[in-house]
Amino acid sequence: MATKDETNPTETESDESTITQIFDVVARAAPEIRSGLPGRRIYAEEDNPSGETQMEADVYADDLLCERIGDIDGVGEYASEERPAVIDTGSGLSVCVDPLDGSSNLKPNNTMGTIVAVYDAPIPATGADMLAAAYVLYGATTTMIVARDDTVTEYVIQEDGEYEAVREDITLPDDPTVYGFGGRVPDWVESFTEYARDIESDASMKLRYGGSMIGDVNQILTYGGIFAYPTLQDSPEGKLRVQFEGYPVGYIIETAGGRSSDGEQSLLAVEKDELHARTPVYVGNEELIEKLEAAFAED
Q: Which of 15, 56, 98, 120 binds ligand FBP (CB under 6 A)?
A: 98
> In the complex, what is the shortest distance from the CB of residue 209 to ligand FBP, in angstroms, rounded to a whole number?
8
Helices (H), 36-131: 56-70
Task: For 275-293, give one letter per residue: b (16+ CB within 10 A) or e.
Answer: bbbbbbbbbbbeebbeebb
Is 98 flagged in the annotation as binding? yes
Residue 62 within binding range of Mg ion, rule CB under 5 A? no
Residue 101 within binding range of ligand FBP, rule CB under 6 A? yes
Q: What is the CA radius of gyration of the chain?
A: 18
Residue 142 within binding range of ligand FBP, rule CB under 6 A? no
> In the complex, what is the shortest distance from the CB of residue 50 to ligand FBP, in angstroms, rounded to a whole number?
7
Cα distances from 290 to residues 105, 168, 179, 209, in angstroms, run 31, 27, 15, 21
Residue 280 within binding range of ligand FBP, rule CB under 6 A? no
Q: Yes or no: say if 185 and 214 are a contact pair by the CB < 8 Å rule.
A: no
Helix or strand holding residue 262 (H, E) = none
**Given the rule CB under 6 A, which of 159-167, 192-200, 207-215, 262-270 is the region that contacts ligand FBP?**
207-215
Sign of CA dihedral 169, 215, 239, 48: negative
Nearer to ligand FBP, 15 or 216 (CB): 216
> In the complex, what is the shortest distance from the CB of residue 295 to Mg ion, in angstroms, rounded to a whole number?
25
Rounded Cα distance, 244 and 227, in Å: 17
> In the complex, what is the shortest distance from the CB of residue 241 to Mg ion, in angstroms, rounded to a whole number?
7
Rounded Cα distance, 76 and 71, in Å: 9
Nearer to Mg ion, 70 or 211 (CB): 211
Residue 98 within binding range of Mg ion, rule CB under 5 A? yes
Nearer to Mg ion, 8 or 48 (CB): 48
Is 182 flagged in the annotation as binding? no
Which residues form the interface with ligand FBP (CB under 6 A)?
52, 98, 101-104, 182, 211-213, 229, 239
Which residues form the interface with Mg ion (CB under 5 A)?
98, 100-101
